[in-house]
Structure 1
Amino acid sequence: MGTHFAVCDMVVDLGKQRTSYQGEESVKHQIYLRWQIPAERVEWKDGDGNQKEGPAVIGKTYTLSLGEKANLRKDLQAWRGKSFTEEELRGFDVAKLLGVPATLTVTHTEKNGRTYTNVASLGGIPKGMDKPSAENGVTLYDNDNAGTFENLPKWLREKITAQIDPGKVEDEGAGPRPFADDDLDDDVPF
């Protein structure tokens, strides 16, 4: 819990996923963003039973939309410290988030006897502060980077495999492209 300096180390295109909100089912194109928190250390055992140590990680799933009410847009604007212009919104490249430092506010919620850790808010790193870097590299997964699939955690691989219509990653029309090549203003982190 609390506020942490972090760095985005994973951007994953989850494809079209079934979602439920207030009893209504729908299909949404989703992405998953993950951050490393270098100051928080954790230990775990790898698949071979070897003890490992590294930065804590936390992620958040978003609908791939930059509409005015979209959570992704709200979080990105808080992270970058300014609103998007219409030009910046067109074809925004979520892959540009990889390696970008952030300030995360992390909370815990209780549900059905379990404790969940959540990213409550995002912000930029204050000027003059050391910017963390990704210790274990960064990971981009989409149809063009399918070779990284086996490096993803099992639960993400299962979610991607279960996507709706995996051959058509992008909706026609409005919304950001999952991974574009457009350049943005160099004065903001992305």
Structure 2
Amino acid sequence: MRSADREKLIVTEAVRFFAECGFEGQTRELAKRMGVSHAVIYRHFESKDALIERVYDHVYVKRWNPDWEPLILDRSRSLQARLTQFYLEYAERVFDYDWVRIFVSSGLKSYGLTERYLDIIRTKIIRPAALELRHELNQSSDPDSLTEEDLELFWGLHGAVFYIAIRKFVYGEPVEIDIEKAVRNTMNAFFVGVKEARES
């Protein structure tokens, strides 16, 4: 097998291994599963941390769609329409056994991957969406006007959608629902709530 192909295979196998065992799983056990010597892994990756970094790139960075950022800012559509499209596409990409379990495992073991990914969500989705909501409500959309309460509103929305995946892939619940309908219902409930809060 060519070196590049072997490296890709190690990353692919490592994704599933860490999803099942968490980051406390040993590379020696990963090698055993693959039917190769432990030295083969370290021929391609200088350390376990280097392998974990490649897993992060493979599972998280490469699944991020750069079109999501301008989507959130597209004022030719309502913010509800934009966020509905984003979360439908987002769910399609991240409602995945490996993605969710590695995300949770990283957070528990302090490998820093979860924090880095959440920073992407914060800067590219949460803050822009909060500013866009302020614009729609005819409030100041100056970035300095954002409050923790503004941001927390959208973290709650994000969590409501993502929790479906947590229930299925972490807790092992038989979540057999129409994801599209669930996302649309969540968006509707969120924006009805925002409107009612504004009018009260």
Same fold (TM over 0.5): no
Structure with greater contact order relative to length (CA < 8 Å, sep ≥ 6): 1
TM-score bracket relative to the smaller structure? under 0.3
| Greater Cα radius of gyration, structure 1 or 2 | 2
The normalised TM-score by structure 1 is 0.23
Q: Return the structure number with greater strand share.
A: 1
